[in-house]
Each structure stands twice: as structure tokens, then as C-alpha cells.
Amino acid sequence: MENQEVEILLVEDNPADVELTLRALKTHRITNKIMFVRDGAEALDYLYRRGPYKNRNEIRMPRLILLDLKLPKISGLEVLQKVKSDEELKKIPIVVLTSSKEEPDIRECYRLGVNSYIVKPVDFEKFIEAVRNIGLYWLLLNQGPTD
């Protein structure tokens, strides 16, 4: 993965959700350029090319960040705030994909600039369909800036 351009950065600490998300994206042939990290600190290290990612070769940033809110080390809200306050990173679409239906979480995410907030469906088939729709929209239909 080190030498491939990443289209999706998946930030998720639950191994089952990582597996389901990767399976859904690959099953629907949406992308094969996915990087996943297990916590908020690792996500920021990846985006800022720090620590184990300081020598990564990708020139471009991910086209999409799928972000869980309840993460170890640095929360998803903190990652969202950092990315959306950075001039170089803020144009990357961020989709919060979380189990939290809490109104304060939803409100705070939109205040910080999230592009979409999706509650993870509990049902396996609905989860697969939700991830497929996210990938189709953000990678194939949505037109973002080219720079």
C-alpha cells in the first residue's frame, strides 16, 4: 500500500467494521486503493506524513475520509476539527460513519464541517448497502476540486 495513491482513508478501530467496509467496497468494485488506520492519532500521522508515515510516497491526499467518532487516542471529532481547520486538508470530504445517533454528536460534526453523517446500520446487508452508496457518491458522482 505504501506506493499506491490512496482514494479512501478509513479511520476505524472496530476490526469487524473494517472488514465489512473493505468487503463492501471491494465487492462493488468501487476502489482498491484503501488505507485504514485504527485510531485518530494514526489518522493524523498519515495525513501529515508523521511517524510511520513520514516517508509515504503518495503525492495526493485521499479523495475521501471515512471517519468513526469513537476512536482511541484522538477522537473522531478532534480529527474532524483538525482536518477541517487546515487549509491543505479541509477540501477532503469527510463522511462520519459511526454508531452514534446522539444529536450533540451530529450537531458538532456539522458545526466542524463534516460533509456527511451516517449512522452505521446494525443489519449486515444494510451496512453493505450504505458503504456501497457512500463509495458510489463520493468517488464516482461527486465532483470536487482538482487541486
Task: List the alpha helices (DSSP H) in the chain.
Answer: 15-27, 40-47, 76-84, 103-112, 124-135
Q: What digits encode the pLDDT tens for the residues 106-144? A: 999 999 999 999 998 788 788 888 888 888 787 777 777
CATH class of 8-133: alpha beta
> How confident is the model at residue 2, as a pLDDT?
42
Q: What digits encode the pLDDT tens for the residues 59-75? A: 778 989 999 999 999 99
> How confident is the model at residue 3, as a pLDDT?
42
